Amino acid sequence: MNQQYQLVHPTLDLFLYDLKEGLGQDDAKITENRQLFWQKVYGDKLDNKKLAELAKAEADSSDDIQLLGNKKAEFFPDPLDGYYYPVQLGDTYALQVDCTANYITDYEYSPQSIDCFEKLQTEILTKINHQHGKLGQTWLIWGQLATNNQDPLATAQACYAQLKFSHQHNWDKDVIKQQGKFFDGTVFELRRLPTANEKLSDGYHVLICLFPSHLKTDVVIEKSKSLLIQLIRLLWYRHKIIWAYSESRKLKDNLKQADKLADSIIKHLNTSLQSPDIQISQLEKFLKDTPKILLKYTNNLTYLDEKRRTINVNIGDYKKRYLDITKLDSHSDWQFLETFSNYAQEKFLGQIETDQANFSPGLTLMENYIKTVQGIIEIERTKGDRNLENLIGSVGIGLAVSQIASSILVTQHPPKPDKLFFLTEAFLISVFAGLVTSIIAWRLLKKYRK
């Protein structure tokens, strides 16, 4: 069936993006990120010495570094016609893997069946050890139509069917597909965003650019190169946006869990506070448990806001790069690229801002409850301290009265030598006087201080 669809210089490109350095990651994790990225290029040939040499090309302050220096690209061994092009874009590793079908003689200028794309995809996946881009990836199919009357849409559908993904895909069933123009050629976009319960790699993004047959093939190759230079950055912004939103969904789940736990603790606390005898030990346990929840709540809200800012910044950069692409050809139509930025603005940013509005009051409630409990504990401790002071004061007064009474009674009624003092009337009366005085004094002190 696909023999009727042919392209001149059929080429498949894969754009992969990996996080170079994540928020709060230590040196060991950064080294691991670097190693995983370069394994896509060198596989088992990558050793510590090679990794250390490659690390020297990186820079924290630059947004665009060719990581292989003047060499620029690492070419595939014969007989394949392809290359790796690794660059550093800010905090991200980007890798373009390009492979042109060379399965016939004079492959650069003669038509080939689009069946070659399935083989090209297998070649590329083998070359990168079947690894995914942690931030995302995009497949780009491009080539030149073989004849003037060849239908671009039917050809694009047949090309799309050649690619394999983790999920079944079908041109008619894939909801998100759009079309544009570039140098008289037709550009198609197909994408599937991962659902909330899926991994980022479960989604996919495909671009198909088919140039008309009347152009010279060398011109097509040159124009495609100018497009590839722009795409590697535009797609970086795109995947950074989707990745940040995917991370924000994980943070939202964390906030839901923290919110439920906090709500459970607060309900239990409310029940305890309604008891006439407040147990300070229970309140202190509450204060001991809540900092962990509060820290989790605070950190997740902070990270959620960080993801919001990441999306916002990358939407702005995406729009700028979109305008740069339109300047490559004044007659081009890349409207579908702007559609994505508008979608991200409304859907992604809107959802995160809604989440922030929903969860932020929970943090305030937790903080207020902690302050309230601290206040209650302080009051209860103050009550305890006052009771102790009252007790000491009243006992002191009672002892003083008992001592005075004892002295007076002993003077008036000296004890008999044959009788112990604590069995005499003087002792018993003095103790009784001291006890009564202590009780009266304790009540008076309590009433006065109250």
**Last-in-domain residue among 378, 394, 415:** 378
Please write the tens of the pLDDT for every residue from 207-258. Answer: 999 999 999 999 999 999 999 999 999 999 999 999 999 999 999 998 888 8
**164 located within any domain:** yes
Average pLDDT of span 324-329: 92
The reply to whether 230 falls in a domain is: no
State the average pLDDT over residues 296-322: 92
114 lies in the same domain as 190: yes
Tokens of 245: 């939103």
The pLDDT score that the predictor gives to residue 445 is 54
Distance from the first to the final alpha carbon of the chain: 97
Give the confidence band of 126 by pLDDT, cuts at 50, 70, 90: very high
Asked if the model's pLDDT at residue 316 lies above 50, the reply is: yes
pTM: 0.79
Within a domain: 236: no
* Span 18-33, pLDDT tens digits: 998 877 778 888 889 9
Choose the final residue of a domain: 378, 408, 427: 378
| Residues 372 and 389 reside in one and the same domain | no
Q: Do 388 and 372 share a structural domain?
A: no
Q: Is residue 221 part of a domain?
A: no
Q: What is the pLDDT of residue 395?
A: 45
> Confidence band (pLDDT; 50, 70, 90) for 259?
confident
Same domain as 342, residue 198? no
Query: Does residue 406 sit within a domain?
Result: yes
Do residues 88 and 164 share a domain? yes
Residue 433 has pLDDT above 70, yes or no: no
Same domain, 351 and 423: no
Do 356 and 405 fall into the same domain? no
pLDDT at 16 over 60: yes
363 and 415 inside one domain:
no
Does residue 3 carry a pLDDT above 70? no
Domain count, the chain: 3
> What is the pLDDT, as a whole number, of residue 402?
54
What does the pLDDT read at residue 398? 45
Give yes or no: residues 293 and 387 share one domain: no
Regarding whether 261 and 209 lie in a shared domain, the answer is no
Tell me whether residue 234 is in a domain: no
- Whose tokens are 């069917």? That residue is 161
CATH code for the domain in which residue 267 is found: 1.20.58
Please report the pLDDT score of residue 79 as a whole number.
Answer: 85
What integer pLDDT is reported at residue 383 of this predicted model? Answer: 56
Q: Which of 331, 350, 378 is the last residue of a domain?
A: 378
Residue 101 lies in a domain: yes
Assess whether pLDDT exceeds 50 at residue 311. yes
The verdict on 250 and 177 lying in the same domain is no
Residue 440 is predicted with a pLDDT of: 66
Range of lowest pLDDT (128-142, 227-241, 358-372): 358-372
Considering the domain boundaries, does residue 239 fall inside one? no
Q: Let me know whether 323 and 390 are in one domain.
A: no
- Per the model's pLDDT, the better-predicted residue between 267 and 106 turns out to be 106
Domain that holds residue 361: 244-378
pLDDT in tens, 395-405: 445 445 555 55
